[in-house]
């Protein structure tokens, strides 16, 4: 080997070694220790509720890797040597009804679950992190949101958004009446980067700054705000729902697998019927045409399916955000409340809103029966959470995202005497699964 060749070989080896060393430095991960301190909210802190064996799960939003552990006798959960990054952190404990009665003297008909959650929490290199989390008992009701088909189906081969639906389930052991049950599409800040609003630490809007907001209430913690508000009609006993049965509210109550005639006389059809659903048997549908100067052709009125009452609407039909950036609530009120007269407020924009700016109903949390948070299917598209841990400590999503035909579906917990009881811990991350193709009245 001549000197020049030998020199080239040495330079090549040195270059390779240098690159490997540089790669090790640039991709090296400095581990971080995370300590989670758990306690109960004020309403429960007067009792000696167990802080041991609380399940704590952390999920790296960038890699989807998950670690879990349980808390010790002092309510402390430790994660040692985790990579720096952005994490969703969830804590949960279920206390059986007997134990809860022994501790509090309060009788409950079923087990109770306490949740805590911190979403999109940045854990940086260089410092160990201590996080305090407060466990709160969620609201559990006889009605639950069972299935949300917000994604829609393929743009050209399916039905687009026309086949969306919402399903509510009687999770109790008695007949319930759907009359005057309200469905709210909760709205808020749709991006972490939007700077036109006053915001809270979690990135969501700070409604305290809305024009004419009263100063003697807690606008952020005691209320949610809707951009769509619907109500099931009836006189109180018109629409009975048997235990283990559900009601389906369709955007348009048609069989989307087959051709049908739109409002303008054109034929509406799909290329691949397997991608969509038959909603001709829905219990209720929305119909916006009477409120609009120019309605969508697909917004037809199926006279065999009752229409819901529309108190508040957005857009040209009841189109659920197919990217998954909405949350949903269902609620009922007592006879003292006239919901259509509830106050409405503008977004808390930094600039003064115009006189024609949209206003949003302020819904008191105390009336909410169930709530579900939806989020986009990819971490980088996630938006600030709209619901607190007492309603939904987590979130759910269709894994393939918009126009995928997928729906989110509440999991089956157990079957008692032939009646299916659905899981309801007020944490949609744990409570929900998905259907590859939406399935009205189906179970998972």
Question: How far is the C-alpha of 228 from the C-alpha of 315, rounded, in Å?
Answer: 10
Give the β-pairing of 407-410 and 412-416.
unpaired
Q: What is the rounded distance in angstroms from the CA atom of residue 135 to the CA atom of residue 133?
A: 7
Those residues with Cβ within 8 angstroms of residue 23's Cβ, 6 or more apart along the chain or in another chain: none
Q: What angle do CA 80, 85, 89 make, to 5 degrees?
A: 70
Distances in Å between the Cα of 103 and the Cα atoms of 41, 55, 73, 115 are 16, 20, 17, 18
Residue with tokens 């811990």: 425
Residue found under tokens 């691949």: 272
Whether 220 and 208 have beta carbons less than 8 Å apart is answered as: yes
pLDDT tens-digit profile of 154-182? 999 999 999 999 999 999 999 999 999 99
Q: How is residue 9 annotated by DSSP?
A: H
Structure confidence by residue, pLDDT tens digits, 255-265? 999 999 999 99
The answer to whether 245 and 300 have CB atoms below 8 angstroms apart is no
pLDDT digits (tens, 9 = 90+) for 95-142: 998 999 899 888 887 788 899 999 888 898 877 899 999 998 866 679
Contacts 24+ apart (CB under 8 A), 187-192: 187/225, 187/226, 187/227, 187/326, 187/360, 187/386, 188/225, 188/327, 188/384, 188/386, 189/383, 189/384, 190/325, 190/383, 191/383, 192/120, 192/383, 192/384
Q: Per residue, what are the HEC states of 322-347?
A: CCCCCEEEEECCCCCCCHHHCCEEEC
DSSP type of residue 424: -
The β-bridge partners of 59 are: 66, 88
Low-confidence ranges of the chain (pLDDT < 50): 3-28
| CA angle (36, 42, 47) in 5-degree steps | 90
- Per-residue confidence (pLDDT) for residue 111, from 0 to 100: 85
Query: Which pLDDT score is estimated for 18?
Result: 44
The CA-CA-CA angle for residues 71, 76, 78, to 5°, reads 80
The phi-psi region of residue 236 (left if phi > 0; otherwise alpha if psi is between -120 and 50; otherwise beta) is left
């Amino acid at each position: 080997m001549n000197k020049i060749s030998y020199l080239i070989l040495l330079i090549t080896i040195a270059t390779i070694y240098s690159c490997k060393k540089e790669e090790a430095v640039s991709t090296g991960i400095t581990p971080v220790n995370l300590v989670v301190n758990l306690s109960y909210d004020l309403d429960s802190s007067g009792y000696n509720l167990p802080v041991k064996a609380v399940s704590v799960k952390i999920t790296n939003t960038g890699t989807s890797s998950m670690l879990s552990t349980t808390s010790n006798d002092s309510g402390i959960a430790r994660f040692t040597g985790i990579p720096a990054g952005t994490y969703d952190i969830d804590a949960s404990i279920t206390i059986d009804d007997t134990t809860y009665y022994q501790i509090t003297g309060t009788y409950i008909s079923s087990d109770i679950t306490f949740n805590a959650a911190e979403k999109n929490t940045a854990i940086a290199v260089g410092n160990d992190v201590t996080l305090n989390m407060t466990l709160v008992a969620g609201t559990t009701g006889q009605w639950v949101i069972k299935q949300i088909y917000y994604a829609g189906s393929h743009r050209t081969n399916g039905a687009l958004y026309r086949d969306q639906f919402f399903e509510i389930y009687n999770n109790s052991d008695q007949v319930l009446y759907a009359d005057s049950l309200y469905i709210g599409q909760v709205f808020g800040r749709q991006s972490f980067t939007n700077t036109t609003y006053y915001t809270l630490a979690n990135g969501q809007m700070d409604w305290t700054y809305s024009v004419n907001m009263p100063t003697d209430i807690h606008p952020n913690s005691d209320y949610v705000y809707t951009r769509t508000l619907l109500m099931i009609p009836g006189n109180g006993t018109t629409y009975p729902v048997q235990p283990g049965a559900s009601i389906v509210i369709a955007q348009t109550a048609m069989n989307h697998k087959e051709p049908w005639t739109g409002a303008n006389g054109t034929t509406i059809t799909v290329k691949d019927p397997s991608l969509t659903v038959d909603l001709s048997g829905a219990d209720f549908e929305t119909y916006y045409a009477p409120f609009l100067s120019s309605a969508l052709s697909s917004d037809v009125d199926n006279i065999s399916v009752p229409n819901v009452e529309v108190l508040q609407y957005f857009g040209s039909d009841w189109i659920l955000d197919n990217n998954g950036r909405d949350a949903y609530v269902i609620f009922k009120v007592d006879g003292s409340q006239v919901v259509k007269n509830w106050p409405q407020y503008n977004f808390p924009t930094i600039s003064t809103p115009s006189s024609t700016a949209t206003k949003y109903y302020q819904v008191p949390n105390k009336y909410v029966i169930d709530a579900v948070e939806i989020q986009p299917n990819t971490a980088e598209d996630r938006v600030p959470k709209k619901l607190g841990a007492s309603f939904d400590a987590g979130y759910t999503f269709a894994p393939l995202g918009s126009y995928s035909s997928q729906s989110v579906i509440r999991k089956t917990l157990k079957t008692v005497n032939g009646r299916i009881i659905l899981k309801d811990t007020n944490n949609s991350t744990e409570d929900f699964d998905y259907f590859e193709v939406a399935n009205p009245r189906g179970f998972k």
